[in-house]
Amino acid sequence: MAAMLPLRHPWFWLLPGWVLVVAVIAASVFPGIAITALNIPSADKLAHAASYCLLMIWFAGLYAPRHHGIVALSLLALGLVLELIQWSLPYRFFEPADLLANAIGVMVGLVLSISLLAGWCQRMETRLGYHD
């Protein structure tokens, strides 16, 4: 596993990230999570892309840019595993379009992380006075 950036409070940053992962897993496998009620075309796909973009940005903030590819591949693998699990559930469906939406979200998050947001957790700690 890639080493995290030196953070004064790593669990402060890790815990919300893992809560987000659990939320994505729960939304992917539990029945009754319906985004179609928003009456927005492709709301489900937008939710997929936004969720994976947020996960990418969050975890990229914990690792040096050279490890962002590992984060991206891990998130893509998570999306694939969740789609395969959905395939086996009687109330969910395997949707290749969901995989594409996940990948778009990861790629947008990766570009933002590399270009603008790399090390955002360290910068936040510095602004809060936790680093010199």
**What ranges make up the beta strands (E) of 4-124?**
none
Cα gap 30→33, rounded to integer Å? 7
Cα gap 33→114, rounded to integer Å? 32
Domain boundaries, the chain: 43-132
Cα gap 115→121, rounded to integer Å? 15
pLDDT at 72: 97
pLDDT at 77: 98
Contacts 24+ apart (CB under 8 A), 126-131: 130/8, 130/9, 131/8
pLDDT at 44: 85
The one-digit pLDDT tens for each residue of the chain (132 residues) are 568 899 998 999 999 999 999 999 999 998 866 555 556 667 889 999 999 999 999 999 999 999 999 999 999 999 999 999 999 999 888 999 999 999 999 999 999 999 889 889 999 998 888 655
Q: What is the pTM of this model?
A: 0.89
pLDDT at 91: 87
pLDDT at 25: 95
**Residue pair 5/62 in contact by the 8 Å Cβ criterion:** yes
pLDDT at 37: 52
pLDDT at 119: 85
Cα gap 16→4, rounded to integer Å? 15
